Structure 1
Amino acid sequence: MPSNGNQPLTLQFGLINHEGRYLTAERFGYKVNASAPSMKKKQIWTLEQDSQAAYLRSHLRRYLASDKDGRVTCEADGRHSDCRFLIVAQSDGRWALRSERHLRFFGGSGDRLSCFAQGIGDGELWAVHLALHPRANLLSVARKRYARLSAEDGQISVDANVPWGVAAILTLVYRNGKYCLKTCDGRFLGNDGKLVQQSGRTATYTLELKCGKLAFKDCEGKYLSPVGPAGTLRSGRCSKAGKDELFDLEESHPQVVLMAANGKYVSMRQGVSLAANQEDETEMETFQMEMNKENNKCTFRTSRGNYWALVAHGSIQTTATQVSANSLFAMEWLGHKMALKANNGKYICTKKNGQLLAVSESIGEIFRFCLSVSDLFPFVKSLLSGEDEQLSLKLVNRPTLILRGENGFICHHKNSNTLDASRSVYDIFSLQFSDGAYHIQGANGRFWYVDSGGLVCSDGEVPEDFSVELPERGRLAIRSSGGRYLRGDQGGTLKADGLSLSSSALWEY
């Protein structure tokens, strides 16, 4: 098990033919074609492998298959012998897909796809475009350590037991069939291990898949690997990918600091017991939130690897070494604040000495009433800062956001000041914390705001307050100052009109 408690991300990708078109699974008749110019939901495929062959599953959860006459379909709801393909990787990173049963290669263009070619030509080669969110943690398979930006050395070091802070987040940038590795400060990894400002030839890599693991091949045919005691990530001498050259991508968990009603940060600096008694943010005040997929409760992990846990008399301590019922907490989002409920059914509150105890029966009826009428009387929230159960949560390892919803990425609209939530490319937005609220800023220095018609615009001169919620693993939700969720409609327009949390209001980040 990786040391961050994660399984590697499921490999999802688009397949691009020799004409630059993506393999597409249509809902009507479960037909397939290669006609789409960009990768959206219908162009995403999931790789399932056994020891010998691979299966390609569409977004409709149906499997690609080929019969003895080369006819290709995608309607099988289970894996069988016609669905088994052998991946024949080429030196440039492209794949040839060969039917294991019928020994023919899959290729073609438009709606003229078949699996009948006896050899590999240009029409049978497919470029692989990862469909994962571009930001992730990178784990070395051999060293069992995570990559992180070592700013003082000007390199990426593969030496972290736990991927802590924004320095451990890398962005995979896709460009013309190849990939660049971008650090949190906007630099790119060159094959000599040095970080550069521009992604030129020596900072571009062919991505290869080896038994479900990733390898990065440089322009000279050598592979990235951790080198030396510090694990400097650079191209080694190997022109073959062995265990030292293999990596896993893992989801990057949110890391947060929590401020209690007394204006102090929750800390473990005083020992195993948690108390809100610090005025600055260090690793002792930073906690990793790991969401449970089954019940959407969360754990809080320290930089030392321990978890918050409910112990005797409602005390909260950082003593758990593994996840149990007493280390899971339910979250309630309260505008710019939030509350945590422990396994004993009680809310965590802050005592006068700063100690955290799960002993409160409720958050407070006055606060609940004011929250329910906050659209009519928004000023009343400011009167409630003394509630002992309320916490301000600040997301510290996402100073910038790349947001992807069910229809695509959020990007500036080409012809207006609104935002498009259905693009295959993304824009990067700055996330700025302000007294429990967040301001979202584009690269042009202008801010997001909601206009009178509910449209989210991106050219504001003055920042507008938004609330950020973390309702489930790997996704966040954003609420406007009016309390409505931001969601992408069917046409891709970003609107602040969601009355409740739905799939269209959830964003990978």
Structure 2
Amino acid sequence: MSGVQGYYVGLVNFQNKYLTAESFGFQVNASGAHLKKKQMWLVEQDASDIYLKSHLGRYLTADKNGKLSCEAEEREDDAKFSVTYQADGKLALKSKHDRYLGGESDQIDAFALSIGRSESWTLQLAIHPQVNLMHVVRKRYAHLESNEIQVSEDIPWGGDALITLEFKNGRYSVLTSDSRYLNADGSLEEKLTEKGQYVIEFHEGRVAFRTHEGKFLTCVGNKGKIQSSKKNVAGRDEHFVLVDNHPQCMLTAQNERMVSIRQGNEVTANQRFDTTDKEIFQMEFDPKRPGKVCMLANTREYWVANGDVKASSSKRVDAAFFGIDWHGSHVSFQAASGSYVTIKPNGKLAPSADSIGEKEKFLLQLVNRSLLILRGEHGFVGMRGPTTARLECNRSSYEVFKLHFEDGKYKLEGRNGKFAKIDGELNVNLSGSSDDCTTFYLEFREHTKMCIKADNGMYLKGESNGAFTANGESPDKSTLWEY
């Protein structure tokens, strides 16, 4: 998300249907029941105008007669819209010809002279809702500290930097890593109230959070506490950037000691008891190098395998890329030389093994995700309905799982207090107890995407009809989950 001048959104009308760009004929309607590819629009902004680009890379246009099309390959005058944010959190889109976008089903146009029910749209971010939050002016990241959210980290490090944006009734709430809601006055509360609900506004690739009183969230004081400003208009001090959250992990070697850089830039398995940021490493993937990973230390230096492994490169050079193999709860790393990273008698890590044995396997524990939200190619993983425990993978609303790490495996606890369990037909249900549930392995495969292997040796798989089952035989697009 970072570096992109815009965000993907869905626009929902008064009938709870999404504005949809059809794949053929460049037609536009409001018939989508779920937020999928055809319902996602990239919002681009230029001064006070916005442009909506479809999944086909074409811009939405409205002519002087209100007729809509989604055929334009470039930003043209008829593709310009202005946004009016309303008190109830909804918005209206006005074309260059001073007419409002509205309608229903396949009768969508931009001809109305005023804002009515059918011209009011709810904006839903189409990004994964778990992010890091960077303040534009301070260029620092938000994290949970001393019972408040402070913008004071140069790098979003550890679980306390995870922010979840929860969408309910057209408004967003900001959820901390320990499941508390941020109120406009900067306080944190376990229950969501009006004080913790915000309307998101777009400002040229950045966002602002408008409070229930019409003010905006900002940073206050030396520590950058997030709370409401006194402004009715969002300036740069009220602008934030939503940034993808990379997985961060701890690694334990065969000698039962944690991998660390506490003694300098040498990567050594020598820590047994207390854990600091020096024992946490960020996994970064490059789409141009599938199956490879870079390991970043909190010093902003990457591992490199020139001789012993050291966290000594400020850039992702060739020697910073490692092949990664998954062995249940453990991983192994293969250096660019083809040799595997192993542990030496003094605890130092070095790429000197020709094959993978026990010394080449490291127990991996995810440390910056206490909460987990899953999205596949067909939608979010969520409950099928209020009266069933069945999980489905094509939902527009999501389940928030709490991760429990035990003996190298993970248990997934739902909001109902029940744990994920595989039934006889391999469906995933939230029906188990902590002592009677399915355990899982997490395999990080791509940027923001992972596979989840159940204890039956099969991967969790999603299908277009919503089936969410533990019967995937190998990693592919049906078993990859954005997290």
Task: Provide the C-alpha distance between the structure 1 equivalents of 2:154 and 2:337, rounded to a whole number of angstroms.
Answer: 32
Match of 1:459 among 428, 431, 438: 431
| One-letter amino acid of the structure 1 residue matched with residue 35 of structure 2 | M
Question: What is the Cα deviation at residue 174 of structure 1?
Answer: 1.5
Cα 1:11–1:458 change in 2 (3 A) is same
Aligned identity (percent) is 40
User: Is 1:135 matched with 2:130?
Assistant: yes
**Correspondence for 2:412 among 425, 440, 447:** 440
Task: Give 1:363's aligned amino acid.
Answer: I
- Kept after mapping to 1: 8 A contact 2:461/2:468: yes
The answer to whether the 8 A contact 2:402-2:414 is kept is yes
Residue 398 (1) aligns with residue 369 (2): yes
Q: CA–CA distance in 1 between the matches of 2:470 and 2:404? A: 19
Identify if the C-alpha distance between structure 1 residues 99 and 9 changes in structure 2 by more than 3 Å, giving closer, same or farther: closer
Corresponding letter in the other structure for 1:413? R
1:25 aligned to which of 9, 21, 24: 21
The correspondence for 1:232, drawn from 225, 237, 258, is: 225
Aligned residue type for 1:458:
L
Secondary structure of the equivalent of 2:237? helix
Q: Deviations over 1:401-428 (max 9, x none)?
A: 1111111111233354432111111111
Which position in structure 2 is the counterpart of 1:256?
A: 249
> Is residue 276–residue 356 contact of structure 1 (8 Å, CA) maintained in 2?
yes
SS in 2 for 1:326: helix
Cα distance 1:50–1:298, how it changes in 2: closer, same or farther (>3 A)?
Answer: farther
Paired residues for 1:381-420 under 5 Å: 387-414=358-385, 415-420=387-392
Other-structure match for 1:12 = 8
Q: Distance in 2 between matches of 1:427 and 1:251?
A: 19
1:469 is aligned to 2:443:
yes
64-73 vs 167-176, which moves further = 64-73
What's 2:79 paired with?
84
Hey, what's the Cα distance between the residues in 2 that align with 1:80 and 1:211? 15
> What is the distance in 2 between the residues matched to 1:161 and 1:266?
22
- Pairing 1:137-156 to 2, within 5 Å after superposition: 137-150=132-145, 152=146, 154-156=147-149
- What is the aligned counterpart of 1:294 among 257, 273, 288? 288
The residue number in structure 2 matching 1:369 is none
* Distance (whole Å) between structure 1 residues aligned to residue 416 and residue 230 of structure 2: 42
User: How many angstroms apart in 1 are the aligned matches of 2:119 and 2:82?
Assistant: 12
Task: Say whether residues 1:268 and 2:240 are aligned partners.
Answer: no
Residue pair 1:165, 1:396 contacting (<8 A) in 2 also: yes
In the TM superposition, residue 257 of structure 1 has moved relative to its aligned partner by 0.4
Residue in structure 2 matched with residue 285 of structure 1 by the alignment? 279
1:344-388 Cα deviation digits (max 9, x unpaired) = 222111122211001122225xxxxxxxxxxxxxxxxxxxxxx11
Q: Does the 8 Å contact 2:2/2:242 carry over to 1?
A: no
Task: Please give the root-mean-square deviation of Cα atoms over the aligned residues, in Å.
Answer: 2.3
**2:474 counterpart of 1:503:** no
What TM-score does the superposition give when structure 1 sets the normalisation length? 0.88
Long gaps (5+) in structure 2:
none
In the aligned structure 1, how far is the partner of 2:464 from the partner of 2:476?
13
Runs in 1 of length 4+ with deviation above 4 angstroms? 50-53, 118-122
Task: Report the Cα offset of residue 70 of structure 1.
Answer: 2.5
Residue 104 (structure 1) shift: 3.8
1:149/1:156 contact within 8 Å kept:
yes
Q: Which range is displaced more, 469-478 or 289-298?
A: 289-298
Residue 177 (structure 1) aligned to one of 170, 174, 179: 170
Q: Deviations over 1:154-195 (max 9, x none)?
A: 211111111111111111111222111111122111111111
Q: Number of paired residues?
A: 477
- Deviation at 1:147? 1.1
Structure 2 counterpart of 1:71? 67
Give the superposition deviation at 1:478: 0.4
Which amino acid counterpart does residue 315 of structure 2 have in structure 1?
Q
Identify the residue that residue 205 of structure 1 maps to in structure 2.
198
**Do the aligned partners of 2:45 and 2:203 also contact (CA within 8 Å) in 1?**
no
Which among 142, 152, 164 is matched to residue 157 of structure 2?
164
In the TM superposition, what whole-angstrom CA distance separates every residue of 1:257-315 from its partner, at most 9, and x where no partner exists? 0111222111111221111121133211111112112213222111222221122xx31
Unaligned runs of 5+ in 1: 365-386
For 2:304, the equivalent position in structure 1 comes to: 309
**Residue 98 and residue 321 in structure 1: after superposition, are their counterparts in 2 closer, same or farther (change >3 A)?**
same
TM-score by length of 2: 0.92
SS in 1 for 2:195: helix
CA deviation map 1:423-451 (0-9, x unaligned): 11111112222232222222344332333
